[in-house]
Amino acid sequence: MPNRLISSKSPYLQKSAYQPVDWYEWSEEAFQRAREEDKPILLSIGGVWCHWCHVMAHESFEDPEIARIINENFIPIKVDRDERPDVDRRYQEVVIALTNSGGWPLTVFLTPEGKAFFGGTYFPPNDRWGRPGFKSLLLRIAQLWKEDRQRVLRSAESIYESLINYSRQSFKDPVEEDLLQQGISTLLASIDYQWGGIGAAPKFHHAKAFELLIHHHHFAPSPLLQRAIMSSLDAMAKGGVYDHLLGGFFRYSTDEKWHIPHFEKMLYDNAELLSLYSIAYKVFGRDLYRKTAEGIVNYYRLYGYDPEGGFYASQDADIGVLDEGGYYTFTRKEIESLLSPEELRVFSLHFGLADMPHEPEKKVLYINIEEEEVARVTGAELEEVKRLLGSAKAKLLQHRQKREMPYIDKTVYTNWNALMICALCEYWKVFSDSWALDTARRSAQRILEEYYKEGALLHKEGVEGFSEDYIFLAGALLSLFELTQEKRYLELSGEIMRKALELFWDEEGWGFYDTAKTGNGLLNIRLKNLQDTPTQSVNGYAPYVLLLLGTLTGDGRFIDYAEKTLQAFSRFVREVPMVSHSYLISLYSYLKGIYKVETRDYFEQALKLFRPFKFVLRSEVEGLIICEGQTCQRFDSLNEILTKAH
């Protein structure tokens, strides 16, 4: 018999509907039952794409004995972190504070009022790897609740008070040039100049960090900056973290060399990376970046887009029962049997094969040497090398497509779709791909028609919008306005931003709260997110959108709010410079000013010209009028701009 999750609209929760655990969704009903039965709550948060969530589900939540212990001693609540990032964010803060690490699955024990007193991430079913087993943990916590409750309640209250105090801290300070320079210097010191990327394994893409460095390279070019950018973008694009047969990036790399990924494909990662590689190709002209950007678009064109508009949320890492990466990997024998001797020769030079740690016979493809080097080594013509590699990849892809495909979550989330709309507009500026602009417009139209009604925006069907839904969409509509010059996009962007200010703005401390309302458990604590995880943060990105709106509409109140948002987090960024590169991009745009270009005759050329913080308006003027901040100049031709000093 299915449990009550069978009626959920979340694909992740539906996958738990046949577990023997008596799951609830996050709801008043669950908290009411916990209070009535005087039981603690077991909160489990994860995602439909999450490999270790599947592992814990299979090992523990499908186990009848563990399910019996849960049902007898706890009120179990299951949450989809994509659907409810507000719930996830608060309990992640608790687990990070308790264990110094977070992630998914997130496993938290709460009082009936929703106050956390213990938590972690993945727990094996039995004691192993130096970690407590989930079964023994459940029994121990049930015992503590019955025999030493005051100790549990004191712990819960202490954690709750700490989170309250954290949420009430003020980080207001003026913003100066040195704050930006400190952030850039700290970032450059964090680059792995040997293998690319930021820090040590596991390595995430940090697209906004490299976008910041490209902006800085425009104003202050240097060999160090170029090396930091290109070594990292090369490593990610060549690594196993990129799908070399179909296109698109996986979620992160488990090793320092970018060879072995976790194989989830997330819309938000690929949106931010599409923007990054499009800009990087425009700036550096590296063909690898063109192929990478086109590969992302190819993946979404084939598998990640709803013909009625909207981009799908994610693709799972696993196929079958916990076979992570099985869809994407090949054995040497498979490769040798599928390719001709000529194809195999160039393929084996171009690609390296990285061993999957748990199944070393399965190999992950990564680029070992580029096509030009293969041609030099073999003495073959470059075009022949490209032809052979193309046919080899087509054969492997055709073979791969005979396998069971990992599950695609077709949920359309407003915030992530807004990121992809912005990315496709950036991609169009570089590659003039009509599909990109058409699908960006169609996706925006679907969200506006289905999710935006009577001034209220939804995160997804049935879930009220968060501040990032409003502000990311406002930014996406400005991107569409620039390309189409349709005033309705500008008007809607301003309307949605004004609604965001009404719902989420903190009048006392400044900045945007993540939610408009309070609720059960830790949802009665209002938080303002700045950290760029898993996407750019709402308070990092909002100042840039506000600056654009103020510049384009002439409404100085938008610029006032941009300044206040930057000031609201200034001291926090000074203390933790790596917290938000989207904030540093907004700060850069504030210090430099929006670069507004008005032109009639050079409109498309001006769109395609790279310049940080540029916005182009079609206007009935001779030549071009360019305004930087409060200073405007007239130019007769685009060549004058190209030769003008930075």
Asked whether residue 42 falls in the same domain as residue 109, the answer is yes
Predicted confidence at residue 243, as pLDDT, reads 98
Confidence of residue 213 (pLDDT cuts 50, 70, 90): very high
Strands 261-262, 252-253: pairing kind: antiparallel
Asked whether residue 99 falls in the same domain as residue 225, the answer is no
Asked whether residue 8 falls in the same domain as residue 25, the answer is yes
Q: Is residue 470 pLDDT above 90, yes or no?
A: yes
Predicted confidence at residue 409, as pLDDT, reads 98
Confidence of residue 494 (pLDDT cuts 50, 70, 90): very high
Other CB atoms within 10 A of residue 27 CB: 13
Containing domain of residue 67, as a range? Answer: 4-168
Rounded to an integer, the average pLDDT of 369-396 is: 97
Tokens of 391: 């046919």
Cα–Cα dist 41/112, whole Å:
6
**Sign of the dihedral through C-alpha 528, 534, 538, 539:** positive
Cα–Cα dist 626/631, whole Å:
8
User: Could you say which of 142, 168, 194 is where a domain stops?
Assistant: 168
pLDDT tens-digit series, residues 220-273: 999 999 999 999 999 999 999 999 999 999 999 999 999 999 999 999 999 999
Mean pLDDT score of the chain = 96
pLDDT tens-digit series, residues 35-59: 999 999 999 999 999 999 999 999 9
Give the number of residues written for the chain. 646
Asked whether residue 562 falls in the same domain as residue 434, the answer is yes
Cα–Cα dist 328/405, whole Å:
9
Question: What CATH number is associated with residue 68?
Answer: 3.40.30.10
Q: Around 249, how many Cα atoms within 13 Å sit in the side-chain half-sphere?
A: 31
Predicted confidence at residue 503, as pLDDT, reads 98
Is there a contact between 532 and 198 (Cβ–Cβ < 8 Å)?
Answer: no
Q: Is residue 170 pLDDT above 50, yes or no?
A: yes
Is there a contact between 451 and 458 (Cβ–Cβ < 8 Å)?
Answer: yes
Predicted confidence at residue 49, as pLDDT, reads 95
Is there a contact between 262 and 317 (Cβ–Cβ < 8 Å)?
Answer: yes
* Burial (CB count within 10 angstroms: exposed 0-12, middle 13-18, buried 19+), residue 250: buried
Is there a contact between 466 and 458 (Cβ–Cβ < 8 Å)?
Answer: no
Asked whether residue 350 falls in the same domain as residue 315, the answer is no
Number of domains the chain contains: 4
* Burial (CB count within 10 angstroms: exposed 0-12, middle 13-18, buried 19+), residue 235: buried
User: Is 550 in a helix, a strand, or coil?
Assistant: helix
Asked whether residue 576 falls in the same domain as residue 627, the answer is no
Rounded to an integer, the average pLDDT of 571-600 is: 98
* Burial (CB count within 10 angstroms: exposed 0-12, middle 13-18, buried 19+), residue 113: middle
Tokens of 482: 């620039």
Asked whether residue 228 falls in the same domain as residue 107, the answer is no
User: Is 128 in a helix, a strand, or coil?
Assistant: strand
Concatenating the DSSP letter of every residue in 501-549 gives HHHHB-TTT-SB-S-SS--SGGGGS-----S--SS--HHHHHHHHHHHH
Is there a contact between 47 and 106 (Cβ–Cβ < 8 Å)?
Answer: no
Asked whether residue 357 falls in the same domain as residue 383, the answer is yes
pLDDT tens-digit series, residues 280-323: 999 999 999 999 999 999 999 999 999 999 999 999 998 877 78
Distinct helix (H) and strand (E) counts, the chain: 26, 20
Q: Is residue 552 pLDDT above 80, yes or no?
A: yes
Predicted confidence at residue 645, as pLDDT, reads 44
Predicted confidence at residue 646, as pLDDT, reads 43
Predicted confidence at residue 319, as pLDDT, reads 85
Asked whether residue 306 falls in the same domain as residue 364, the answer is no
User: Could you say which of 572, 592, 612 is where a domain stops?
Assistant: 592
Rounded to an integer, the average pLDDT of 612-637 is: 94
Q: Around 478, how many Cα atoms within 13 Å sit in the side-chain half-sphere?
A: 27
Is there a contact between 121 and 105 (Cβ–Cβ < 8 Å)?
Answer: yes
Confidence of residue 644 (pLDDT cuts 50, 70, 90): low
User: Could you say which of 117, 150, 168 is where a domain stops?
Assistant: 168
Q: Is residue 643 pLDDT above 80, yes or no?
A: no
Question: What CATH number is associated with residue 234?
Answer: 1.50.10.10
Asked whether residue 431 falls in the same domain as residue 317, the answer is yes
Asked whether residue 368 falls in the same domain as residue 294, the answer is no
pLDDT tens-digit series, residues 499-510: 999 999 999 999
Which residue has 């803060």 as its token pair? 93
Asked whether residue 587 falls in the same domain as residue 601, the answer is no
Angle, to 10 degrees, between the axis of helix 487-504 and the axis of helix 556-568?
A: 50
Picking from 514, 572, 570, the residue whose alpha carbon sits closest to that of residue 177 is 570
Q: Is residue 130 pLDDT above 90, yes or no?
A: no
User: Is 39 in a helix, a strand, or coil?
Assistant: coil
Is there a contact between 623 and 636 (Cβ–Cβ < 8 Å)?
Answer: yes
Is there a contact between 88 and 45 (Cβ–Cβ < 8 Å)?
Answer: yes
For the full predicted model, state whether its pTM sits above 0.85.
yes
E strand segments, 163-299: 252-253, 261-262, 265-266
Picking from 20, 30, 2, the residue whose alpha carbon sits closest to that of residue 114 is 30
Rounded to an integer, the average pLDDT of 413-434 is: 98
